[in-house]
Amino acid sequence: MLTQNRLAIEFAGISFKNPLILSSAPPTMDARHILRAARLGWGGATMKTVTHEPTVDPRTRLGVLRMNGKAIGMNNIELLTRTPLSTWTKDWLPKIKKEAPEDFVLIASIMSGPSPEGWTELAETMSRTGVDAIEINVSCPHGSPEEHMGAFIGQDPSLVEMVTRAAKKGTDLPILVKLTPNVTDIVPIAKAAAKGGADAISAINTLESLVGIDIETATPLPIAYGGNRSEQLSTYGGFCGPAIRPVGLRFVSQIAKALPEMLISGIGGIEDWKSAIEYIMVGARTLQVCTAVMWHGFGIIKPITEGLIQFMDRKGYESLESMVGKALPKITSWAALAKLPPIAARIIRENCTGCKKCVTACVDGGFTAIQMREKVAIVNPDKCDGCGLCAVVCEDNAVEFIHLD
Ligand SMILES: Cc1cc2nc3c(=O)[nH]c(=O)nc-3n(C[C@H](O)[C@H](O)[C@H](O)COP(=O)(O)O)c2cc1C
């Protein structure tokens, strides 16, 4: 008999009833939001990041990237919590711990500057509130770097090591270090966090971006309105949502391969049970979600957890732990792949609807290896280079690949 606790996982000495955590963002802006999520079954929540002083935000501060009308990514120019630190420490965090189900994991999120004292002090303050762990935010890509905070620290391994050590000094709680994807190579940064004593790494925060331009008014998005509506300005912000998942998967897998002992909380475009499993299979043990909740509400926890269990049942995975890193051994070097023997595409006749998308793609973007015969696409294996373009454009799952030797 399958039960919900098959989703239980140990992470940094904490027992999670399921791996799904709200990431630090608007859905964790106050006690009311976090408690609502806790009651709906989320495994935990990371509060909206606090620093020593509350921050202010532009309005509007969210922009969207749509593909054929469907939102696939979002950019934000929001900063940290606008609520005083004392409201969090004296009121909200103790209240959440008191009123949320006992097994709900509460993570504090803190940010300070490039000197150690502020981190130690904030970590100390947070550990007196009853939270279960502390995430240190060295990854916000806008607003903070100008103040030598956020991604300014997260792009420098020596600063990451220093602030991680400083936060550890202030607390006995597990420290998660939340990294930025706005770096060329995340491995030295992850190693620096490990050297500083990180108990886990959270990856990734948002990608620095300019989400689009309103071409009618030549205004970059999102539009921050001034005193009157004609004053319209913007700035670079952080991109998130399903569109950044490939970047998150890349960074999580690279950290997992370089630091096999490091615990990882995967973040970036998790929207359903499938994307949750993708992160687990590249080495994440917990998962943090922001955009999907902002778009669809806390209720997504139900289909995600149900989908996870159904998948585990179908594939015979006993526990989440048994899926962790399953895909990692199959990530190798490009050089190793180029030596593999040749293959060619083959059309699965029963699935082919004769739409000709693969024919067009193969003529103009490939090797002119596909033509139509009796309303079904057919591949000439002598011309096919096995590039995979036909499978990319096929929406009917009608392409498979065969070895030529
Ligand atoms: C509006 C907004 C505000 C955010 N604020 C914070 C923050 O205060 N601290 C933080 O660590 N991350 C913050 N994030 C980043 C998210 O926690 C998360 O890392 C990122 O959005 C990627 O996850 P997603 O693709 O599920 O949204 C924010 C994201 C958004 C969209």
Q: How do residues 340-382 score in pLDDT, each as one tens digit?
A: 999 999 999 999 999 999 999 999 999 999 999 999 999 999 9
Evaluate whether 265 touches 202 at the Cβ level (below 8 Å): yes
Average pLDDT, the chain: 97
Among 266, 307, 328, 300, CA closest to 7:
307
Query: 354's torsion region: left (phi>0), alpha (psi -120 to 50) or beta?
Result: left
Evaluate whether 325 touches 349 at the Cβ level (below 8 Å): no
Q: How far is the CA of 121 from the centre of ligand 1 (A)?
A: 24
26 lines ligand 1 (CB under 6 A): yes
DSSP string, 3-54: -GGGG-EEETTEEESSSEEE-SSGGGSSHHHHHHHHHTT-SEEEPPPB-SS-
- Could you tell me the pTM of the whole model? 0.97
As a whole number, mean pLDDT of residues 295-307 equals 98
The tens digit of pLDDT for each residue in 306-326 reads: 999 999 999 999 999 999 999
- Determine which helix (DSSP H) or strand (DSSP E) holds 373, and give its type and residue range: strand 370-373
The tens digit of pLDDT for each residue in 22-41 reads: 999 999 999 999 999 999 99
Quote the CA–CA distance of 262 and 198 in Å, as a whole number.
9
As a whole number, mean pLDDT of residues 398-404 equals 96
Where residue 2 falls among pLDDT bands split at 50, 70, 90? very low
SS3 state of residue 288: strand
Q: What's the count of helices (H) and strands (E) in the chain, helices before strands?
A: 14, 22
Quote the CA–CA distance of 343 and 208 in Å, as a whole number.
38
Where residue 119 falls among pLDDT bands split at 50, 70, 90? very high
Query: Does pLDDT of 384 surpass 80?
Result: yes
Q: Could you identify the atom of ligand 1 that is nearest to the CA of residue 267?
A: 23
Backbone angles phi, psi at 44, to 5 degrees: -175, 180
Quote the CA–CA distance of 367 and 384 in Å, as a whole number.
6
Q: Mutation test of ligand 1: which of 21, 23, 79 has the most ligand atoms closer than 8 Å to its C-beta?
A: 23
Where residue 227 falls among pLDDT bands split at 50, 70, 90? confident
Q: Residue 228: its pLDDT value, please?
A: 77
Whether residue 60 has a cis bond before it, omega within 30° of 0: yes
Evaluate whether 274 touches 245 at the Cβ level (below 8 Å): no
137 lines ligand 1 (CB under 6 A): yes
52-56, 126-130, 133-137, 237-241: the lowest-pLDDT one: 52-56
The structural domains of the chain, ordered by start, are 4-330 (3.20.20.70), 341-403 (3.30.70.20)
58 lines ligand 1 (CB under 6 A): no
Query: Does pLDDT of 230 surpass 90?
Result: no
Rounded to 10 degrees, what is the CA torsion of 14, 34, 208, 11?
10
Long-range own/partner contacts, residues 358-366 (CB < 8 A, 24 or more apart)? 358/389, 358/390, 358/393, 358/394, 358/399, 360/393, 361/389, 361/390, 361/392, 361/393, 362/389, 362/390, 365/389, 366/390
Q: What is the DSSP letter of 88?
A: I
Q: Mutation test of ligand 1: which of 140, 240, 270 has the most ligand atoms closer than 8 Å to its C-beta?
A: 240
Quote the CA–CA distance of 175 and 249 in Å, as a whole number.
22
Q: How far is the CA of 243 from the centre of ligand 1 (A)?
A: 14
The two tokens of residue 3 are: 């039960």
Query: Does pLDDT of 120 surpass 80?
Result: yes
The alpha carbons of the chain give a radius of gyration, in whole angstroms, of 23
Where residue 405 falls among pLDDT bands split at 50, 70, 90? confident
Q: Residue 331: its pLDDT value, please?
A: 98
289 lines ligand 1 (CB under 6 A): yes
The tens digit of pLDDT for each residue in 150-175 reads: 999 999 999 999 999 999 999 999 99
Q: Mutation test of ligand 1: which of 46, 149, 205 has the most ligand atoms closer than 8 Å to its C-beta?
A: 205
Quote the CA–CA distance of 337 and 356 in Å, as a whole number.
30
Q: What is the DSSP letter of 323?
A: G
Q: Residue 269: its pLDDT value, please?
A: 98
- What percent of the chain stands above pLDDT 70? 99
137 CB burial (10 A radius; 0-12, 13-18, 19+): buried
Where residue 226 falls among pLDDT bands split at 50, 70, 90? confident
The tens digit of pLDDT for each residue in 55-86 reads: 999 999 999 999 999 999 999 999 999 999 99
Where residue 1 falls among pLDDT bands split at 50, 70, 90? very low
**What helix, strand, coil percent values describe the chain, rounded to 5?**
35, 20, 40
Evaluate whether 184 touches 253 at the Cβ level (below 8 Å): no
Residue type, position 200, single letter: A
Quote the CA–CA distance of 252 and 245 in Å, as a whole number.
10
Distance from chain centroid for Cα 21: 11
Q: How far is the CA of 208 from the centre of ligand 1 (A)?
A: 12
Evaluate whether 75 touches 239 at the Cβ level (below 8 Å): yes
Quote the CA–CA distance of 106 and 127 in Å, as a whole number.
11
